[in-house]
Structure 1
Amino acid sequence: MPTFTSADGTEIAYHLRGEGEPLVVLPGGPMRASAYLGDLGGLAAHRQLVLLDLRGTGDSAAPVDPATYRCDHLVDDVEMLRAHMGLDHMDVLGHSAGGSLAMLYAARHPERVARLALVTATPWALGMPAAAEERLVAARSRQGEPWFAEAFPAFEAWLAGTGDFDPVFAPFFYGRWDDAAKEHDARGDHEFNDEAADIYGSDGAYDPPTTISRLARLTAPVLVLAGALDGGPSPELARRTADVLPNAECVVQPGAGHYPWLDDAQWFVRCVVAFLEKASSPHLRAG
């Protein structure tokens, strides 16, 4: 298991899957160990996945200062990873909350990003959180499923702030609530750092006007991938995210929830590989 030492002395781990050109993958959660990503539905057959365990998660050490769990501070760890791997520029994939980290990294280091894939990415960094009503609209579309009657009231209460997060509504995050989804969800019990998650998006983590202004300089191609059944982000929110980025395309995976590589691995991999194999951006060719 390779590691590197961050600027503040924290030992950060990452995991390599597959061979070929590296694709740096930033996990969501927020602050969930990268193990939940697996091989992204077989994407490791096409690229070498560099799965970063954010500080305090997975095999990475916890920092001395918990304030460094904040998303904007984590940008420095991503840049240290790039330098550690000897990459002049790199392709980056951010999933869910990791999408905000990926956007902050691209805003601060646009010349280091060759291609950027945002997979069901929550655009908190852009000041665009998923609205409760968008989540409820997506949830109501599942009312024909056998678990809906029990799950929906708890989900509605959580979104209204009158109830806690409840495992009973986990099915809303998956396109299919099958054995694979149940096993994937259950692993979250030991893959999350709840303390770090509370700090990840705390006050000061995001400066949307500055981030949007800096992202206007990003010349790298961007893929914004949404799940048709996902409410956070909804396909419409994903389209609004793509509108902020100067060289972005938005695609919606049919029948997919928040973890699209589990719902239809072939569709997901085909889409991401096609994006990554497109002609290099001008600054990449010049590098």
Structure 2
Amino acid sequence: MRNVTRILTLSNGYHLWSHTCNLGGHTKLLCLHGGPGDTHEVFERFGPELADLDIEVTMYDQLGSWYSDTPDWDDPAIRQRFLNEDYYLSEVEEVRQQLGYDHFYLAGHSWGGMLAMTYAADHPQALAGLIIISMVDNIADYLKRMRKIREHEFSPAENAYMLAIERRGQWTDPHYRQLITHLYHEYVNRRQPAALAHQVDIQAKPVYNYFQGDNEFVVEGDLGDWDFSKRLATIQLPTLLMFADHETMPLTTAKKMVKAMPNARLVVTPDSGHNHMVDNPAVFFTYLRHYFTDLRSGRFTPDPQKG
């Protein structure tokens, strides 16, 4: 099967980088990366891992991210127009249309999972199935998990120091950065040295900082009050919820989600952080392949934890 890289020109005039693996595969899978402001990289193994299942996999960098166009984020009008969830949802739909995808599968990781859940609720007729990777249905539970992680990893004095730094916005403080790096190594990228590596930091900081804040362990941006929990049960699609056992997202919430969704299955990747497709690919892709093969054979059933 062929792989192809394409530049998609949006109706707003901006360009998005996209890459499709296994071109011509019967089943279509579109992948939405996290961040916001991260890149397609966590999906790079999806194509090779799913090739023998005849699955065409497309990933792309969202507006402002790495290979795609970056608007002038210093312009207030630009920020108001594009730095919001509605824009990025409309982007998903335009990418789908340009690819010609219909009755396709949608996978979203972290922030991409937020987009995927909302897109699935708004456009159920376009989808055949949904894959949510490490994203809960509300930010409040995520914030509780962050507090528990920090209390577990650091002494009361260290936690007080972190809060003092955060209140002042002194994000470059050396000791604070050391503590945050420790958290990333424990809960985001447990595979060290990291498999995802560049000579420079390629995250789109203006996008990430606007929505999230300085790092994964604070939420000071626009995501702070996001809550999808009341709409979760409206998603009737066969849904795979993929979480890790040592990550930033609370498993307690994932278990509530699978009970609330009428046609969902929850799987947990062991010894892995937030990027578990990188930390433990052998288990992660086994679960992902089971999702597709079970659907094809009629063996996909909702999670037994529902009872």
| Counterpart check, 1:49 vs 2:63 | no
2:162 to 157, 166, 178: 157
- Give the match for residue 130 of structure 1: 142
Q: Corresponding residue for 2:116?
A: 102
Deviation at 1:158, TM superposition (A): 6.1
Q: 1:238 corresponds to which residue?
A: 254
TM-score by length of 1: 0.78
What SS class does the counterpart of residue 242 from structure 1 fall into? helix
Corresponding letter in the other structure for 2:56? Q
Q: Distance in 2 between matches of 1:18 and 1:156?
A: 50
How far apart are residue 88 of structure 1 and its match?
Answer: 1.7
Matched with 2:15 is 11
Is 1:256 the equivalent of 2:256? no
2:291 to 265, 268, 275: 275
Q: Summarize deviations over 1:230-283 as a string: whole Å, max 9, x none.
A: 1x212112222333433212121111111112222111001011112333699x
Q: For residues 147-187 of structure 1, what are the alpha-carbon distances to aligned partners after superposition, in whole Å with 9 as ceiling and x for unaligned?
A: x99xx9479826994573725222122464422x2x52x54
Q: Tell me how many residue pairs correspond in the alignment.
A: 266
Describe the superposition over 1:57-82 as per-residue Cα deviations: whole angstroms up to 9, x where unpaired. Answer: 12211246233132221011111111
| Residue type of the alignment partner of 2:206 | E
Q: Percent identity?
A: 22
1: CA distance between counterparts of 2:267 and 2:61?
27
Query: 2:69 — aligned with what?
Result: 61
Cα distance in structure 2, aligned partners of 1:204 and 1:30: 10
Instruction: Give the C-alpha shift of residue 54 in structure 1.
Output: 0.4
1:196 aligns with 2:200: no
- One-letter code aligned to 1:241: M
| TM-score in terms of structure 2 length | 0.73
Change (3 A) 1:203 1:28: closer
Query: How many angstroms does 1:109 deviate by?
Result: 1.1
1:19-61 CA-partner distances (Å, limit 9, x unpaired): 5322111001221121244324953434332112100112211
CA-atom RMSD, angstroms?
3.4
Rounded Cα–Cα distance in structure 1 between residues aligned with 2:235 and 2:279: 31
Instruction: Give, in whole Å, the separation in 2 of the partners of 1:14 and 1:244.
Output: 34
Tell me if structure 1 keeps the 8 A contact 2:244–2:273: yes
For structure 1, the residue ranges without an aligned partner over 5 or more in a row are 283-287
Shift of 1:89: 2.1
CA distance in 2, matches of 1:188, 1:101: 29
Higher relative contact order (CA 8 A, sep 6+): 1
Structure 2 residue 97 is matched with structure 1 residue 83: yes
- Structure 1 residues 51 and 92, CA, compared in 2 at 3 Å: closer, same or farther? same
- Aligned residue identity for 1:93: A
User: Counterparts of 1:51 and 1:87 in 2: how far apart (Å)?
Assistant: 13
